[in-house]
Structure formats: structure tokens, C-alpha cells
Structure 1
Amino acid sequence: MTETFPLVCTRGVVVFPNQDIVIDVGREPSLQAVDNAQNNFENHIVLVSQKDITTDEPGLDDIYHVGTLCEVRHVRRFENFIRVKFRGLKRVRLNEWIQGNDSDMAVVDELVTYRQDETEEQALMRMIVDAYDHFTGADKFMSKDMMIELSKGVGPEGLSDKAVTALPISLDRKQAYLETLGANDRLEMLLADIEKEKKMGEVEKKINDTVKQRIDQGQKDYYLREKLNAIKEELGDVVEQDKDAEQIRKRLDENPYPENIKKKVKEELSRYEILPMASGETGVIKTYIDWLMDLPWWQETQDNQDLNQAQSILDADHYGLEKVKERILEYLAVKQMTNSLKAPILCLVGPPGVGKTSLARSVARALDRKFVKISLGGVRDEAEIRGHRRTYLGAMPGRIIQGMKKAGVVNPVFLIDEIDKMASDYKGDPSSAMLEVLDPEQNSYFSDHYIEEPYDLSKVLFIATANYLENIPPALRDRLEIIQLSSYTDVEKIHIAKEHLLPKQLKENGLHASQLKISDDLLLYLIRYYTREAGVRQLERTIATICRKTVLAILKDNKKSIRLSKKLVHEWLGNEKVDYGHKEKKDQVGTVTGLAYTSFGGDILQIEANRFEGKGRLILTGQLGDVMKESANIALDYIKAHAKEYKIDPKLFETNDVHIHVPEGAVPKDGPSAGVTMTTTLVSCFSEIPVKANLAMTGEVTLRGNVLPIGGLKEKSLAAYRSGITTILIPKENVRDLDEIPQEVKDAVEFIPVSTVKQVLKHALVA
């Protein structure tokens, strides 16, 4: 007989006739089906099981087609779901799934269980009862007495439905019981599953017995060993020492460890031997002893004494950087002369990509020393430097001691990278912990919380690197010997590309020098129009791209060699990436070229000013920082005080608003060197006198009109030189910095020192 009822798809549950089961219902179609059954179908509903429990929206192919007609007995409603008690009534076969208005509906036919051979049925029932009698795990599922009572109450056709709910079998197996209509067939399945569970119980018991036996044997062995040792001690026999302890004592005797370390190791070793091997503390003590033994205490490499060879290595690895090379050679010379010298603490400060890290490697190679490196970028925990105390679980030494163990000698070259990028939080201030490491007067007794013994760092040549000197804490900066590495000039970049970058990339890409020809003019073109940086990292990446394109052209197009041209550069790298030489083409009112020092090195900066009818407001745009905002206010107030001097009507300040803008508004700008530029811009704007287009300036201004000195003159001069500027106004006190300016820049650019705003305006404004 075909009937239609609301449909619910269950996950991981198969409901049998005469079974009461509680299910949480949460999916919207299922909630609607329960409500529909209660309201319109006298609490009758069809439950079918999904094949895959992870399917959220099952279709006809995702469910089994044999289910159970149930009765909704009780419903308890919660915020996001309902808890329903169902009573299984009879098996049904799903013929059709209908998407109804009130809920999903199932068109089903009733399936009737049929009896089979009676003799076989009785035999199966007896075998099942006997199987439960010998079932060691029966207490987990169902007792023999319960099985006998059950068989009387439900008969053979219902026995399997009741018993199978208690067996730990899979969803597919339970569904097979539901789909099997022969009573004897189901009893055979039940008997097979009981026998299978019985065997699994026996295997589990065997495994448990084996594990217990092994534990008991281990305890027995430990007891007997300890008893044997006690007997040997009473008899005066020598107890065999632990193998690890013997090896440690042997190392102590054979090597010249400091006396305090020998004493500490022996103390820890005594504790180690007393503790049983099963104790957790033995591992902690053994690890600590290993750290003390593995640290270099006397091992040392001999420095390269040949100064000429050391200079040759430094020159071969790096072009320029004369100050650093000279300082290293001075250190070697004085050490050779005195035969004893504390290592200096050098700090290389400069923009990214100028060779700070690679220079430290070259120093190690020149000195013939071991090289180790740690990076402090993002380090916030003081324990990263000083280590954790041994009372903590998982304690370990700090990065300094770890680096020394890795080096294996007491005098490596130790690179501390990104020292300006340390931070501090509630766990401590790592920069304060670095004071002891980098102080030549203190680091001969460096204390690590884990090691607990003073460690001598005085022979280590520490080299730190930083991008910004201002970000290094003053107390730490005081202990460092600062060496500034400035941006490379175009000529220096060409030399570096020819002597280092191009040969390196040719080798890495499997090319010979004859297969790729790049002229100096093409290198200069790449430097100016495809890279914008203080160092040479982007230049190296650009050369690497050209090398890869060359390899592809040689293999794909069967070319023997490539001579790079501008046309080929455009084809391989696209259009020019950087505006080079971007300065004002003609003299303009209210527009002045300033000079800035950025993370890319130097750059030119156009500062514009305009005025219009208003109430005397000052408007600043261009993502300016607090220092530049103050410079703008000082510049405006200076002009107001000296308006008559520059033939400016004072009433203009009351009836006009002034707008100062620094282009590239998305880029934050700040720094104490824009005062004279803003003053000149405002004077030009109010007096309507143009400013020379081929002139740039830098310097800070005071309310009295004095020009203050600035930093980064070399980088700023290089930027002006690249942009085609022919005249630069600099503060008079910065004349001393002209020695650092490359000669090629001095030949092309005129530097005019100024000390007052009057002198600036005299040179900047068109007469």
C-alpha cells in the first residue's frame, strides 16, 4: 500500500521498528517536516539515513531508499533546534521524494518481515543466546538473560532489530539489517557480528595483558638492578657507572675546561647519577650538562695576519665602502702589533640593499674566522637574548649563547642583523639586555639565565646592522662604533653590476660571459629607469630577469648570444618603471624643488603653494608629519613678520587662505629639512616672483630667518644630480659634509652655502 508522509533525512542514525530514539533536529527542511507531521499526519513521519554525514543538503542519490515510518512521541524546543523522541513503527521503501509546500514529502510502500525455516530459526536463536553466554564483552552491550527475555517478547523477526542497536557496528551494516526482510537472514547477520565482536574482545584482552606484563617486568627489572648495585656496594665491588656519566667525566679530564665549569658539571653530574632514569628531571640535567660541555670555552681560530690579503678579499667582495674596510684593517694591524686587543663593536647603518649583511660575511672571510648571524627584527622578549631560567619548562639559552655554540669558537664574527627593529613589551626590553652583550667593558662576563655561569664574549667581533640610526636606543648606540653606509652613485652601481652582480647571475643561470653582452650605457639605463633604490637589490633582480630571458631565447630561438639593446629591454621588462630626472621644466611661481632622505636613499620633492580669497587660514596637504607642519607655520610667520622687506602687502595674509601641498599625497612625509623650501614657496606665492627651475634646496629655518644644518647631504645631492639639478642651496654648516660627495656630482652641480633666508631668496628667486 502506497502512502505519503513528511520526510526527515538523518545523519549517522538508522531507526528500527519498535525502537525509541531521541534525535536533535536542526536543518530547516527537517524542522518543517516535524511540524507538518504533528499538524497534518497524526504524528507520522518517515526517517531515512544519509550515506555521507557531511552532506548538508542531500538529494535523492545521497540517501538510502529503505527507511522507517515513525511516530513523533515528544518534542522539546530550543533556540536553534528541537529535540524529538521518535518511535519506530515499520520498514518502508522510498519510491518518490516530493518537494511539498509545508515540507519535503516521501511516497513509500510498507516492507513486511517474513518468517523462514522454523527449525533453522530455533537453531539460530539458541546459538545467539549461547554466544552471549561466552561473550567476554557482553557487559558492554547486552546480557544473556536480557537476550532470553527479549527473544520471548519480540519473536525472531524483532530480535535482531532490538539487539543490533546495542552492537558497535557501522552505519552501512545497520542499514543492511534494515533492508533485510528475512527473519533468519537477519539472525545469521546478528550471529556473525556477535562472533566478530567476541574475537575483537579477545584480541583487546590479549593486548592489555601484554602491556601490563611489560610494565610489571620493567618495574621488576629496575628493582633488581637497584638491589644488585646495593649488594655490590656492600661487598666493596665497584658499581659500573652510567655510560653517559663516564663519557662526560672523560671529556672533562681530556679538555681544558675552565675550573668553574668543571665544578658546575661535576655537581650536576652527581645529581644526575643519584636520580632514577625514569625521573623527568634527568633529561633536564643532561640537557644542561650538554650545553655547558658543547659551548666553546677555549677553542679559537687564528686570524689572518696578511693585511694585503685581507684587503684583497674585502676589495674583491665589495666595491667602495672604504671606511668599513679601513676600520677592519686598522683592527687587524693593531691586534698584530699588540698581540692582544678587545674586539670592536661595529654598527653598519645605511639604507636597504647597500651590502651591510654581505659585508659582514666578507669581514669573516678576510679575517679567516667563523661566521654566525642572528636577526633581531621583531624580537620583544628579553629571554631571547639572556635565555630562560632553568626553573621553566622547556628553558633554553638565549640567541647569543646559541650562536656561540653554533660557531664552535670563542672568536667568531657575530652578525646582529636589524638591531634597530627590536621592540619591548611586558616580557621585558631586549635592547636593555643587549647592553651587556655589546659593551666591551662588560661582555667578558656575559651572564645567560640558563647557563648561570659567566661567559667571555670579549674576543667576538660583533657587527650590527641597522637601517635607521634614530631607532637604536641612545644607551645602546653609545656602545657602538657607528659606520655610515650611504647610497651608491650611478657610477658605483655600474661597477658593482659589472664586477659582481652580472657574473653572479650569469653563473646561476648557466650562461657564459660571451652569451650575454650588456654595455655600460645599457646598465646605466637599467639603473635609472627600472630601479629606484639606495642599494642594488632591485638591480640584481632586474639582471636576473634578463639572464633568464636570455636562456629562454638561446634554447627556444636557437640564438648563440644576445647583445642587450633598449628595444630588447622594453620587450623583456616592459615600459620604464621609474621617472628619472623629473624636475620642473621652467621657472614657476609658488613651486620649489626640495630634497628629501627616504628609505630608497635621496629623492627630490616638489613643494607647491597657492593663495586665494579667504580668512587667513593655512591649509596643509600631502600626508605631512608634525615636523613639516611646524616648518610650514614657522615659514608663514616669518614672512608675515618680514612682509614689507619682500614687498608683500600685509593685508593679503588677512584676506587670503594659503594652501601648501607636497605631491604624492599617499606617501607620508616628515623631517627637519623642509623649512627653507616652504619659506621660498610662500614668498614666491605672495610676491608672484618665479623660482628657478634648475635649483634645489634643503635646510631648516628659524623664526629669525636662520638656516639650520641637515643630515643625509650625500643622498640628497645624488638625487638632485640624477634629476638634472645644476644648483643646490645647502646650510653653511653642512659645508664640512661636501668631502663625502662624489667628485662626479661636484663637477656637475654647484653647491651654494647659505646661512639666512635672505641669502636663500637672493639665489632662488628670478631677478
Structure 2
Amino acid sequence: MASLSRADVYASRYPLLILQSAVLFPGNAVTLAIGRAEAFRAVELARQQQAALVVVVYADGRRGDQLVHQVGTLARVAEVQLQAGQRLQVRLEGLRRVRLLAVDMAGAAPQARVEQLLPNVTPAAFAAVERVRALAGELQRQLGLPDGETLRVLETTDDPDRFADLLATQLVRDLPYRQRLLELVDPLERLEQLAGLIERELARRRPVVEPPTAAAPVPSRPSAEPAALLDEANEAREEAERLRRRLAECGAPPAVVERIEQEIDRLARMPQSAAEATVARTYIETVLSIPWAVETPETVELARARAILERDHFGLEQVKERLLDYLAVRALTGEQSGSGTVLCFVGPPGVGKTSLARSIAEALGRRFVTVSLGGIRDEAEIRGHRRTYLGAYPGRIVEALRRAGTRNPVILLDELDKLATDYRGDPAAALLEVLDPEQNRHFVDHYLDVPVDLSRVLFIATANSLAPLPRPLRDRLEAIVIEGYTEDEKREIGRRHLLPRQLAVHGLPERALELTDTAWHELIRGYTREAGVRELERQLAALCRKVAREMVERGLNANGGLPRRRVTPAVLRRYLGPAPYQELGVSPEPQVGVAYGLGATPLGGTLVPVEVLAMPGRGQLQVTGQAGEVLQESARAALSWVRAHAGHFGLAPDFAERMDLHVHLPEGALPKDGPSAGLALVVALVSALTGRPVRSDLAVTGEITLRGRVLPVGGLRQKVLAAQRAGLGGLLAPAGNRAEAARLPATVTRRLTVHWVETVEQALELMLLAPPEQSSSGVLSPSSEGGVKAGKRSRSTEASRDSHPHR
């Protein structure tokens, strides 16, 4: 038992900890969760003073009138742990009974002046110990109370004071009765109360109870405890039987059954008021709530699956074909063969990644559960928290199984690329076990600490980009790229899905709004800038709000005969205001030193104007506009190629030493990087140095080498859509990307011409026009001041201009 320090013996004031539902006996320990501010301060004060504190209980079990019992326990703070939510887990060890003389609640922490209550141990108390010990042994054989470990301690304890407090801690659950026993300072009185309590409980189970002969009889006194106080023992036994029945019915594996049987036996021996009992009960209930044997039958009908995909999504033909292939394989080979494939839909926001996963679940007849991974930086969110921590709970994978209620749901791992990493672990690494079919058959959640079979779960992931994912995690995914919608597809999605949904949400008739084709065109181009359709739906919602307001102001309702509102571009601007988006840098006329590059971002394709100015200087190259390191390297490579071919363009060999070149990428607040701007940089540099304008109806993309080759780039579909959105007539792309032409939307390729180039010379032939001023002095050459002067057009330039007139 913990002992009092010298400071505690002579102290007159102690921090006061007031509890609501726990009575601490001397010589015993209890673990509590502290969350109230005054309790928090009392514990902190005791730790700072390295002193004990007084533990008492509210007189009515509540905090209403702030009345407390006058007898409490002087206790030592054995351990303190800070838990989540600014809560403390405190382990207290009881020392002595004390009586409160004065209470001070006005200070920083509650304090009390107390006097210690010392027990008066008599020979009769020692005799009563033997009798109560025999009764406790009989009670343990019949009811299992107290537990075996406590009974062994009682058999070796002869101190009447400690014996009575230890037995009361184990047997008495009623809070008022525990307080009554705490207020009995004389050990003999407590032993008499406990003896009478045990005898009455034994008498309820046997017609005749033979009195023990090992000790002299102890006169019993009338008891004031509630009737059938030990009914909690029956409740504990009934609870254990109920949990065992649930365990037998849940279909858990043998290893899990054995582990939970041990936990149920342990729970049955615990006092129900103990904090450990609540933890154990929560753990058992959590394990039993897992669908160990519940399974949803899977049905794979390709015709039905195709109908569901067509009903829920417009466009995305290649994605639908891939999904139908996947479902066909499952239909032929069975469910388990497809468990090793983890589909990952990769694309910008709003293109339908989540709805595709939901459609797959519906086509398979499985339940669908979403696990949001965005912003998770703690590994325990995946694997669960260990039960040693206060407030521990299972990981999100196990929680998804519990919500689904079946062991073979479709679990969507949403925003996989938004996982973070810090000192609490790497959640992406924890997902390796979840997604690996060789390991997830025996996935162990830290909270459950038993293996869970995830092999029958169909995992589907979504991400805006695969770049942030670790390579081992990417290796477990089969990426299906969704690069965005064309304008025609957005218009059809708006007509078929978005507008009817918003009309229903806003309480409008089904055909209350009708947008003309020109209104759809302006709405998509001028009021949205995205690869998906979320912003489009928000703008349609704004239109519906305006119409709903008109209905209310005119006193109409959904059935009040409101005429159909025909939305033209003028009506659109009146409702939504001026269009917030305008294409950047698209000039109607060719310009010198300006080429239009193309970029691919997680939000879709974008137009990237490249501007170059040549000026007298000392050969410096400056790149501005938040250009990344790779893009700056592309600029240096482009300049090196131009210098190596200076004679071809009529430039002096040392032109770069007598002029500065400034490359600027507008919209400097947005970071830009990547090698695909290399070809646009060459075109803009040659145009600025030779004075030849660049065609403004063509965009250009491609990585270059120092030998003048044009290498393939990524995100071609997004870049093509960006060029179409900007109103351009065509673009130059690397010949190495020609194989992707079949995947480009037909509605786009009919309006936009793609020129495939293999070398920089071919690109310059197509992009550069003749200089605006010509002279008969020959080809262009740098002037003595570092500038350039005009010369004759080459034959190739004439041919380029004749074959590709400016539009």
C-alpha cells in the first residue's frame, strides 16, 4: 500500500478532487478520465506540490448544488497521461480516510482542510476477518465473486482494515452504499456489514446456509443496503452469457473466438464500476459487431452493368469499356480472382470518380462505403489505436466494415493522394498491407489485435494525381485516367443530369428552365473553368435560385403555372453577372515573341502563353512567372539550340553575348513546371530574335532535345481540350503521341487540327510567319547594336504561310 510522505502527514490543506460516480477506498487504486476544468486543476496542483489530494463524491451524485460528502479518501497521484481532447487519464492510489473540515472553492483549484480518520483495530475484528474470509470463499465458488486473484490476496491479508476495504471494492457496486462503508471508520463494523451482505446473498441461492465453523460468530446488525445488492453479479453473469451467445452466432474464426472468450471471462470478474470494465466491454462489442460471416451475394450481369453506367454517366466511353472488361473477368473467374486488382480512378475534381465507384457497387449488388483519406497524417487512422490509450478506437478500414455490415463491400478510398506524413507515422505505408491480396487476408488492426480477412473486400481508390503516392503504393494500383469532359459532353451532362437535379432540389417544376445552345456555350466557357462539372452545377443552382425567387415574389408555387423560363446569353448575364473567366493571352493577330504553350494540371488542361523579349545586354537569360526548375532547364536548352543554329536564322554567331533575353510566363501567381514547354520556348525565342510573328491560331506542346528532336509529353487529352476551350484552330504535338489520337474525342478533332511534328525545324516551319517588314538585304542578321534587321523570307516560310494560312 502506498505510504504518506512527511509533507502529507503535517499538511493541513490538500487539493480537492470531486468525483461524480466513483468512491475510492484506502489501499485500492482506480484509473479515472478527468475532463472537467476544476478536476484538471486539482490534479495539476497536486503534481506541482508533490503532495496527495483528497478524493470525495458529490452528495447527490450530481454537481447541481456543489454539496460533497464529508468523508473522503486521501490519495496519491500515481500516474498521469494526457489524452486527446485535453483530457487526463489519472491513476490514483488510496491512502487514508479523511474528514473534511473546510472547503475552499475560490482559489485556482479546489482545496480542503481535513483531519485523518485512523481505524481502531480490536481482537474481535481479527476474528471477523476469518469468518468473512470463509464466506467470501463460498461466494466465489457459487458466483465467481470476488475473482480468483482478489481471493488469493484476501487469503494472505490479516489486517482487518485493509481486508474490509479490499473486499468492499470488489463486492459493492452501489455508489451510496460504498460511501456508507467508507464512512465506517471501525473495521469491525465494515466486516459485519460485508458478512451480512454475503450471507443474505448465499441464502437467496440455498434454502439453508450452514454457518462457517472456522471462526466465532459475529453478531450481525440490520443492513441498510438496497435489496439484492449483489444482483449486479447476476447481471454480470447474464451479460457474459449474452456475449457468449453473440460470439457463437457471429461466425468469427477460432482464434478470434478464443481471444474474445478470454476477454468475456475477464469482464465477468471485473467490478462493473471499474474503468477497465468499460474498456473491455467496448472492445468485445466492437469485435462482435464486425461482420465475420455476413456476405452479400454478388451478381455480375454485363447488360445491367452497362445500363447502370450509361444511366449515371455521359461520355467516358473508354473508362466504361475498361470497367465492363473488369466485370466480365469477374463473371468468368469468380469473385476471388478479382480481389487482387485495386482500381484507382485518377483525374481532376468533378469528373465522376466517386460516382463511378458507386455504380460499380450497384452493378455488383454490393454495399458501398466511403473512407475519406484527405488530410490523414496518423498511421493509427488506418491501423487503429492500441487499447492502452484512453478513447482508443479501430482504424477506418475496420469501421468501414462495421458500417457496411458485410464482409465483402465495395470500399472507396477517397482522395488517396491527399495522405500526409509526420512524426505519427506514414498512413500510405499502412495501406500497403490493406491493398496487398497476399497480406490482407490476415490484416491486424491495433485496436482489435486479432486478424481480419479483407480479401473479399473490393477496394477502389480515387486520386487527382498519382505523383504524390509512394512507388510501392502505386505498384498496387491499376490507374484508370479520367482526363475531363469536352464542352459537348458538359452540355449533355448539364441537360440530362445537373439541371433536372437542381430543379428538384430548389422545388421547381421539371421544365421550369430551358437554356439555349448559345447560353450553354457561354455558361461553360465564361462561368466555369474546370475539367469536371462541379462549378457548372453550382452555376445552374444559382440560376434556379433566381427563378425560385421570381416565383415567390409573384406568389406562385410549383403547381402555379409558372411559364418556362428560356435562358439566353443576355438572361444569363442578367442572372449571374459578367462572365468571370476570359481566356488569357489569345490574341486575334500574330505577335512577335509570343507562343501559346499547353499545360496539364490536376484541374485539367490550361493555356500557357510564353512571352520573350530580346534587348541589348550581356547575354543573360531571365525566366519569370514562377517557373520551376525543369521549365528553366527547358529554357536554357531552347536557347542553346537556337545558338547552335544561329546561322540558319541569319543571326550572328555571337548574338547571345550582346543581348539579354527575358522569358515570361503570365499569371505569375501560379507555379509552372515541366518539360513540355520546351517547343513553345524555342518558337518564342526564334520569333523574338528574327522578328517573325507566331501564328496565334495554333498552340504547341512538346519536350525538346539539344539535337532538335521533339519528345512525347503527357496529358495530351487535357491539352487538346484546353486548346479547344481557348478557341484555337489547332495545335502542334509530338509525333510520339500520335498513338493517342484514337483516344481523343471525335467532336474535338473535327474542330481542331493536330499537327504531328518530330523535329524543331518542322514546328518552326508551321508556326512562324514572314516578318512584317522586308528588305532586299538578304536574311535577317543582328545589327551592330545587338538588335535584328529584316531580310527576305525563305522559301520554306512562304510554303508554310501558303499551306497554313492564319485563321
Structure 1-normalised TM-score?
0.70
Please give the per-residue CA displacement for 1:412-448, whole angstroms capped at 9, x wherever unaligned: 1101111101111111111100001111222111111
Distance, in Å, in 1 between the alignment partners of 2:387 and 2:761 is 68
* 1:171-214 superposed Cα distances (whole Å, 9 cap, x missing partner): xxxxxxxxxxxxxxxxxxxxxxxxxxxxxxxxxxxxx9999438
Assess if the C-alpha contact under 8 Å between 2:240 and 2:265 holds in 1.
no
Indicate conservation of the 8 Å contact 1:304/1:310, yes or no.
no
Q: 1:209 to 1:301 in 2, by over 3 A?
A: closer
Q: Is the 8 A contact 1:612 1:657 kept in 2?
A: yes
State the partner residue of 1:193: none
Alignment CA distance shift 1:436-1:687 (3 Å): same
Out of 599, 603, 626, the residue aligned to residue 602 of structure 2 is: 599
Q: What residue is the counterpart of 1:513 in the other structure? A: 510
Alignment of 1:506-655 (within 5 A): 506-557=503-554, 560-580=563-583, 583-655=586-658
Once the two structures are superposed, residues 217-256 of structure 1 have per-residue CA deviations (whole angstroms, 9 ceiling, x without a partner) of 99998876666677869989x9956221011112223343
1:293-312 matches, within 5 Å, as: 293-312=288-307
Q: Is 1:685 aligned to 2:688, yes or no?
A: yes
Match in the other structure for 1:338: 333
Structure 2 counterpart of 1:503, from 489, 500, 505: 500
Match of 2:180 among 191, 213, 216: 213
Distance in 1 between residues matched to 2:531 and 2:509, nearest whole Å = 29
Q: Kindly tell me: are residues 227 and 444 of structure 1, through their superposed partners in 2, closer, same or farther at Cα, counting changes over 3 Å?
A: farther
Aligned residue runs from structure 1 range 190-229, under 5 A: 212-213=179-180
Q: Who is 1:272 aligned against?
A: 267
Letter in 1 for 2:329: V
Amino acid at match of 1:552: R
Does the CA contact (< 8 Å) of 2:387 and 2:447 recur in 1?
yes
Match of 1:474 in 2: 471
Helix, strand or coil at the partner of 2:449: coil
Instruction: Give the conservation status (yes or no) of the 8 Å contact 2:592–2:691.
Output: yes
Q: CA deviation at 1:727?
A: 2.7
Aligned to 1:748, what secondary structure does the other structure show? coil
| Worse-matched range after superposition: 729-738 or 595-604 | 595-604
1:195 equivalent in structure 2 = none
Which residue in the other structure is 1:386 paired with?
A: 383
1:322 corresponds to: 317
Query: Quick one: which of 723, 728, 733 aligns to 1:725?
Result: 728
CA contact 2:250–2:291 (8 Å) conserved in 1: no
Q: Secondary structure at the match of 1:673?
A: helix
Q: CA deviation at 1:354?
A: 0.7
Query: Secondary structure in 1 aligned to 2:330?
Result: helix
Match of 2:158 in 1: none
Q: Which residue of 2 aligns with 1:118?
A: none
- The alpha carbon displacement at 1:671 in A equals 1.6
Give the C-alpha shift of residue 710 in structure 1. Answer: 0.7
Q: Structure 1 725/219 Cα, relative in aligned 2: closer, same or farther at 3 Å? A: farther
What SS does structure 2 have at the residue aligned with 1:534? coil
- Does 2:699 correspond to 1:696? yes
CA contact 1:622–1:666 (8 Å) conserved in 2: yes
**Larger helix fraction of residues:** 1
| 8 Å Cα contact 2:630-2:674 kept in structure 1 | yes
Aligned partners of 1:692 and 1:765 also within 8 Å:
yes
What residue is the counterpart of 2:400 in the other structure? 403
Task: Summarize the Cα distance change of 1:381–1:226 in structure 2 as closer, same or farther, 3 Å threshold.
Answer: farther
Alignment of 1:483 onto 2:486: no
Secondary structure in 2 matching 1:470: coil
Distance 1:447 1:294 in 2: 16
Q: Structure 2 stretches of 5 or more lacking a match?
A: 1-69, 71-101, 107-174, 185-189, 211-230, 556-561, 770-796, 798-807
**Alpha-carbon shift at residue 582 of structure 1 (Å):** 5.7
1:487 CA displacement: 0.9
2:227 aligned with 1:260, yes or no?
A: no
Alignment pair present for 1:669 and 2:669: no
Q: 1:608 to 1:253 in 2, by over 3 A?
A: closer
Q: Deviations over 1:658-685 (max 9, x none)?
A: 1111111222111221111111111111
- Secondary structure of the residue aligned to 2:296 is coil
Name 2:237's counterpart in structure 1: 242
Kept after mapping to 2: 8 A contact 1:581/1:722: no
Q: 1:378–1:421: 8 Å Cα contact kept in structure 2?
A: yes
Structure 1 unmatched ranges of 5 or more: 1-136, 138-165, 171-207
Q: Which amino acid aligns with 1:587?
A: P
Q: 3-state DSSP class of the match of 2:420?
A: coil
Return closer, same or farther for 1:332/1:636 CA change in 2, 3 Å cut-off. closer
Give the superposition deviation at 1:361: 2.0
C-alpha change, 1:603 and 1:209, in structure 2 (3 Å) is closer
The residue identity in structure 2 corresponding to 1:213 is: R
Native 8 Å contact 2:677 2:702 kept in 1: yes
Structure 2 CA distance, aligned partners of 1:224 and 1:375?
Answer: 58
Structure 1 pair 670/226, CA: closer, same or farther in 2 (3 Å)? farther
String of CA shifts for 1:531-565, please: whole Å, max 9, x gaps: 11110011000001101111111231465331112
Q: Give the drift of 1:513.
A: 2.3
Please list the CA deviations of residues 24-59 of structure 1 after superposition, one character each: whole Å capped at 9, or x if unmatched.
xxxxxxxxxxxxxxxxxxxxxxxxxxxxxxxxxxxx
Query: Cα 1:683–1:245, aligned 2, differ >3 Å: closer, same or farther?
Result: same
Q: C-alpha distance in 2, partners of 1:226/1:632?
A: 91
Name whichever of 316-325 and 279-288 sits farther off. Answer: 316-325
Do the aligned residues in 2 keep the contact of 1:609 with 1:660 (CA within 8 Å)? yes
Other-structure match for 1:33: none
Q: Distance in 2 between matches of 1:641 and 1:328?
A: 50
Q: Report the equivalent of 1:147.
A: none
Cα distance change of structure 1 residues 255 and 513 upon mapping to structure 2, 3 Å threshold: closer
Alpha-carbon distance change, 480 to 223 in structure 1, aligned in 2, over 3 angstroms: farther
What amino acid sits opposite 1:297 in the alignment?
W
Structure 1 residues 302 and 324: CA distance shift in structure 2, 3 A: farther
**Secondary structure at 1:360's aligned position in 2?**
helix
Where 1:251 maps in the other structure, the secondary structure is helix
Secondary structure at 2:299's aligned position in 1? Answer: coil
Provide the rounded CA distance (Å) in 2 between the counterparts of 1:314 and 1:369.
15
The sequence identity of aligned pairs, in percent, is: 45
**How much is the aligned-residue C-alpha RMSD, in angstroms?**
3.0
CA 310–418 in structure 1, closer or farther in 2 if over 3 Å, else same? same
Structure 1 residue 287 corresponds to structure 2 residue 290: no
SS of the residue corresponding to residue 471 of structure 1 reads coil
C-alpha deviation, 1:337, in angstroms: 2.8
CA–CA separation in structure 2 for the residues paired with 1:294 and 1:709: 53
Bigger CA drift: 255-264 or 566-575?
255-264
Larger mean CA deviation between 689-698 and 253-262 belongs to 253-262
Q: Which moved more, 1:422-431 or 1:219-228?
A: 219-228
Tell which structure's C-alpha radius of gyration is larger: 1
Contact 2:595-2:699 at 8 Å conserved across structures: yes
Q: What SS is found at the alignment partner of 2:676?
A: coil
> 1 CA distance for matches of 2:318 and 2:200?
71
